[in-house]
Amino acid sequence: MDSDTTSSVLGLYLKNNRKRHKNQTHLSVPLWFTENRRKRHKGQSEPKQPLWFTILQEAVWVIICIIIVVLVRVFILGAYEIPSESMEPTLQVGDKLIASKLQPKVSGIHRGDIVIFHDPDHWLNNGPKDDYLIKRVVGVAGDRVQADGSGPVLINGKIIDESSYIMPESDSSQKKFDVLVREGYIFVMGDNRTNSADSRFHMSDMNGGQVPVDKVEAIADVKYWPLNRIGLVRRPDQVFNGL
Protein backbone atom coordinates (compact mmCIF):
# COMPACT_ATOMS: atom_id res chain seq x y z
CA MET A 1 0.00 0.00 0.00
CA ASP A 2 1.49 3.30 -1.05
CA SER A 3 1.71 6.36 1.15
CA ASP A 4 -1.22 8.14 -0.52
CA THR A 5 -3.55 5.20 0.04
CA THR A 6 -2.40 4.87 3.65
CA SER A 7 -3.05 8.56 4.29
CA SER A 8 -6.55 8.31 2.78
CA VAL A 9 -7.53 5.32 4.95
CA LEU A 10 -6.16 6.97 8.11
CA GLY A 11 -8.01 10.22 7.41
CA LEU A 12 -11.34 8.43 6.90
CA TYR A 13 -10.90 6.54 10.21
CA LEU A 14 -10.14 9.71 12.16
CA LYS A 15 -13.14 11.52 10.61
CA ASN A 16 -15.57 8.75 11.58
CA ASN A 17 -14.11 8.52 15.06
CA ARG A 18 -14.66 12.30 15.66
CA LYS A 19 -18.32 12.06 14.62
CA ARG A 20 -18.91 9.19 17.02
CA HIS A 21 -17.43 11.07 20.01
CA LYS A 22 -19.24 14.30 19.10
CA ASN A 23 -22.68 12.66 19.23
CA GLN A 24 -21.96 10.75 22.47
CA THR A 25 -22.85 13.11 25.39
CA HIS A 26 -22.96 10.54 28.19
CA LEU A 27 -22.08 6.98 28.92
CA SER A 28 -24.40 4.47 27.43
CA VAL A 29 -26.53 2.72 30.08
CA PRO A 30 -28.62 -0.34 29.24
CA LEU A 31 -32.38 0.45 29.02
CA TRP A 32 -33.34 -2.45 31.30
CA PHE A 33 -31.15 -1.01 34.08
CA THR A 34 -32.77 2.46 33.85
CA GLU A 35 -36.33 1.07 33.87
CA ASN A 36 -35.67 -1.09 36.91
CA ARG A 37 -34.32 1.91 38.84
CA ARG A 38 -37.46 3.94 38.01
CA LYS A 39 -39.79 1.17 39.17
CA ARG A 40 -37.84 0.66 42.37
CA HIS A 41 -37.97 4.39 43.31
CA LYS A 42 -41.62 4.74 42.30
CA GLY A 43 -42.78 1.89 44.50
CA GLN A 44 -40.62 2.83 47.48
CA SER A 45 -42.64 4.25 50.50
CA GLU A 46 -41.62 5.91 53.74
CA PRO A 47 -40.83 3.46 56.51
CA LYS A 48 -43.85 2.96 58.82
CA GLN A 49 -43.72 4.17 62.43
CA PRO A 50 -44.10 1.54 65.14
CA LEU A 51 -47.61 1.23 66.59
CA TRP A 52 -46.41 2.13 70.08
CA PHE A 53 -44.98 5.41 68.77
CA THR A 54 -48.28 6.36 67.09
CA ILE A 55 -50.20 5.58 70.30
CA LEU A 56 -47.73 7.64 72.32
CA GLN A 57 -48.19 10.63 69.99
CA GLU A 58 -51.98 10.46 70.31
CA ALA A 59 -51.74 10.15 74.09
CA VAL A 60 -49.54 13.23 74.33
CA TRP A 61 -52.08 15.30 72.35
CA VAL A 62 -54.94 14.08 74.54
CA ILE A 63 -53.01 15.01 77.68
CA ILE A 64 -52.21 18.48 76.29
CA CYS A 65 -55.91 19.07 75.50
CA ILE A 66 -56.94 17.97 79.00
CA ILE A 67 -54.36 20.30 80.58
CA ILE A 68 -55.63 23.24 78.50
CA VAL A 69 -59.25 22.55 79.50
CA VAL A 70 -58.30 22.29 83.18
CA LEU A 71 -56.34 25.55 83.07
CA VAL A 72 -59.24 27.33 81.37
CA ARG A 73 -61.71 26.00 83.96
CA VAL A 74 -59.46 26.87 86.92
CA PHE A 75 -58.21 30.30 85.88
CA ILE A 76 -60.40 31.72 83.09
CA LEU A 77 -63.96 30.37 82.87
CA GLY A 78 -66.33 28.47 85.12
CA ALA A 79 -69.59 26.64 84.45
CA TYR A 80 -72.39 26.91 87.02
CA GLU A 81 -75.99 25.83 87.42
CA ILE A 82 -78.71 27.88 89.13
CA PRO A 83 -80.03 25.86 92.11
CA SER A 84 -82.80 28.11 93.45
CA GLU A 85 -85.42 30.74 92.59
CA SER A 86 -83.57 33.63 94.24
CA MET A 87 -82.46 35.21 90.94
CA GLU A 88 -85.74 34.96 89.05
CA PRO A 89 -86.80 36.24 86.61
CA THR A 90 -83.26 36.92 85.34
CA LEU A 91 -82.02 33.41 86.06
CA GLN A 92 -84.27 30.41 86.51
CA VAL A 93 -83.74 27.10 88.27
CA GLY A 94 -81.70 24.82 86.01
CA ASP A 95 -80.16 27.60 83.93
CA LYS A 96 -76.49 26.92 83.20
CA LEU A 97 -73.97 29.72 82.99
CA ILE A 98 -70.50 30.45 81.75
CA ALA A 99 -68.84 32.94 84.10
CA SER A 100 -65.56 34.83 83.83
CA LYS A 101 -63.02 34.23 86.57
CA LEU A 102 -60.66 36.85 85.16
CA GLN A 103 -63.12 39.74 85.10
CA PRO A 104 -63.27 40.33 88.88
CA LYS A 105 -59.47 40.48 88.99
CA VAL A 106 -58.87 42.44 85.78
CA SER A 107 -61.74 44.94 85.55
CA GLY A 108 -63.11 44.73 89.09
CA ILE A 109 -66.65 44.25 90.40
CA HIS A 110 -69.33 46.79 89.55
CA ARG A 111 -72.86 47.54 90.65
CA GLY A 112 -75.26 45.38 88.67
CA ASP A 113 -72.84 42.50 88.14
CA ILE A 114 -74.21 39.03 88.86
CA VAL A 115 -71.49 37.36 90.89
CA ILE A 116 -70.77 33.79 91.91
CA PHE A 117 -69.14 33.69 95.34
CA HIS A 118 -68.23 31.30 98.12
CA ASP A 119 -70.45 31.23 101.18
CA PRO A 120 -69.04 34.07 103.32
CA ASP A 121 -70.34 32.87 106.70
CA HIS A 122 -72.75 29.89 106.73
CA TRP A 123 -75.41 31.50 104.54
CA LEU A 124 -76.35 28.12 103.10
CA ASN A 125 -76.97 26.34 106.41
CA ASN A 126 -75.80 22.96 105.17
CA GLY A 127 -77.63 23.41 101.90
CA PRO A 128 -76.19 22.30 98.54
CA LYS A 129 -73.09 20.15 98.32
CA ASP A 130 -70.95 23.05 97.04
CA ASP A 131 -70.73 26.41 98.77
CA TYR A 132 -71.46 28.71 95.84
CA LEU A 133 -74.08 31.45 95.86
CA ILE A 134 -75.15 33.77 93.07
CA LYS A 135 -76.54 37.28 93.61
CA ARG A 136 -76.55 40.73 92.06
CA VAL A 137 -74.16 43.40 93.32
CA VAL A 138 -76.14 46.40 94.58
CA GLY A 139 -73.48 48.22 96.56
CA VAL A 140 -69.69 48.48 96.32
CA ALA A 141 -67.11 49.93 98.70
CA GLY A 142 -68.09 53.39 99.92
CA ASP A 143 -71.79 53.08 98.99
CA ARG A 144 -74.56 53.72 101.49
CA VAL A 145 -77.37 51.27 100.61
CA GLN A 146 -80.75 51.61 102.33
CA ALA A 147 -84.44 50.81 102.10
CA ASP A 148 -87.43 51.57 104.32
CA GLY A 149 -89.07 48.16 103.83
CA SER A 150 -91.88 49.26 101.54
CA GLY A 151 -90.31 51.36 98.81
CA PRO A 152 -87.33 51.39 96.47
CA VAL A 153 -83.68 50.90 97.32
CA LEU A 154 -81.54 54.01 97.66
CA ILE A 155 -77.82 54.18 96.92
CA ASN A 156 -76.00 57.22 98.25
CA GLY A 157 -79.36 58.88 98.77
CA LYS A 158 -80.54 58.32 95.19
CA ILE A 159 -83.53 56.11 94.35
CA ILE A 160 -82.68 53.42 91.81
CA ASP A 161 -85.21 51.95 89.38
CA GLU A 162 -84.70 48.18 89.43
CA SER A 163 -87.85 47.29 87.50
CA SER A 164 -85.82 46.01 84.54
CA TYR A 165 -84.54 42.98 86.43
CA ILE A 166 -86.36 42.29 89.73
CA MET A 167 -89.43 40.08 89.97
CA PRO A 168 -92.43 41.98 88.55
CA GLU A 169 -94.95 43.44 90.99
CA SER A 170 -92.64 42.99 93.97
CA ASP A 171 -91.12 45.61 96.24
CA SER A 172 -87.43 46.35 95.92
CA SER A 173 -87.13 45.30 99.55
CA GLN A 174 -89.69 44.35 102.18
CA LYS A 175 -86.94 44.46 104.77
CA LYS A 176 -85.64 47.70 106.22
CA PHE A 177 -81.89 48.20 106.26
CA ASP A 178 -79.24 50.90 106.12
CA VAL A 179 -75.61 49.90 105.54
CA LEU A 180 -72.33 51.50 104.54
CA VAL A 181 -70.33 49.10 102.37
CA ARG A 182 -66.80 48.72 103.68
CA GLU A 183 -63.60 48.65 101.64
CA GLY A 184 -62.98 45.17 100.24
CA TYR A 185 -66.66 44.17 100.42
CA ILE A 186 -69.83 44.21 98.31
CA PHE A 187 -73.54 44.24 99.20
CA VAL A 188 -75.61 41.72 97.24
CA MET A 189 -79.30 41.03 96.67
CA GLY A 190 -81.27 38.47 94.68
CA ASP A 191 -83.55 39.64 91.87
CA ASN A 192 -86.43 37.71 93.46
CA ARG A 193 -86.52 40.02 96.44
CA THR A 194 -89.23 38.13 98.37
CA ASN A 195 -87.39 34.82 98.00
CA SER A 196 -83.70 35.60 98.44
CA ALA A 197 -81.69 35.16 101.62
CA ASP A 198 -79.09 37.75 100.65
CA SER A 199 -77.05 40.45 102.41
CA ARG A 200 -80.18 41.91 104.03
CA PHE A 201 -80.80 38.74 106.02
CA HIS A 202 -77.24 38.12 107.22
CA MET A 203 -76.33 41.38 108.89
CA SER A 204 -75.63 39.57 112.13
CA ASP A 205 -72.87 37.41 110.62
CA MET A 206 -69.15 38.11 110.95
CA ASN A 207 -69.17 40.43 107.90
CA GLY A 208 -72.40 42.26 108.67
CA GLY A 209 -74.05 40.69 105.63
CA GLN A 210 -71.43 42.03 103.27
CA VAL A 211 -69.48 39.70 100.97
CA PRO A 212 -65.67 39.92 100.97
CA VAL A 213 -64.40 40.63 97.46
CA ASP A 214 -61.89 37.80 97.79
CA LYS A 215 -64.82 35.37 98.12
CA VAL A 216 -66.06 36.28 94.64
CA GLU A 217 -65.04 33.62 92.13
CA ALA A 218 -66.60 34.82 88.88
CA ILE A 219 -69.01 37.17 87.13
CA ALA A 220 -71.82 35.66 85.04
CA ASP A 221 -71.44 36.26 81.30
CA VAL A 222 -73.56 33.84 79.25
CA LYS A 223 -76.52 31.50 79.68
CA TYR A 224 -75.85 28.41 77.56
CA TRP A 225 -78.57 25.98 78.71
CA PRO A 226 -81.42 25.30 78.11
CA LEU A 227 -81.23 26.17 74.42
CA ASN A 228 -84.31 28.40 74.48
CA ARG A 229 -82.64 30.61 77.12
CA ILE A 230 -79.23 31.07 75.53
CA GLY A 231 -78.06 34.65 75.80
CA LEU A 232 -75.73 37.17 77.38
CA VAL A 233 -76.06 38.16 81.03
CA ARG A 234 -75.87 41.93 80.72
CA ARG A 235 -75.08 44.42 83.47
CA PRO A 236 -77.80 47.11 83.71
CA ASP A 237 -75.43 50.08 83.86
CA GLN A 238 -78.26 52.56 83.21
CA VAL A 239 -79.76 51.71 86.61
CA PHE A 240 -76.63 52.82 88.46
CA ASN A 241 -75.49 55.76 86.34
CA GLY A 242 -74.66 58.90 88.27
CA LEU A 243 -74.23 57.29 91.68
Catalytically active residues, by annotation: 86, 135
Q: Which residue in 173, 94, 74, 87 sits closest to 134, CA to CA?
A: 87
- CB 195 within 8 Å of CB 151: no
Pair 128, 81: CB distance under 8 Å: no
Distances from the Cα of 121 to the Cα of 59, 124, 132, 133, 181, angstroms: 44, 8, 12, 12, 17
Question: Phi, psi at residue 191, to the nearest 5°?
Answer: -75, -25
Other Cβ atoms less than 10 A from the Cβ of 165: the count is: 16
Find the Cα–Cα–Cα–Cα dihedral 202, 183, 86, 227, rounded to 10°. -160
CB 236 within 8 A of CB 112: yes
Cα-based distances in Å from 79 to 63, 132, 146, 228: 21, 12, 33, 18
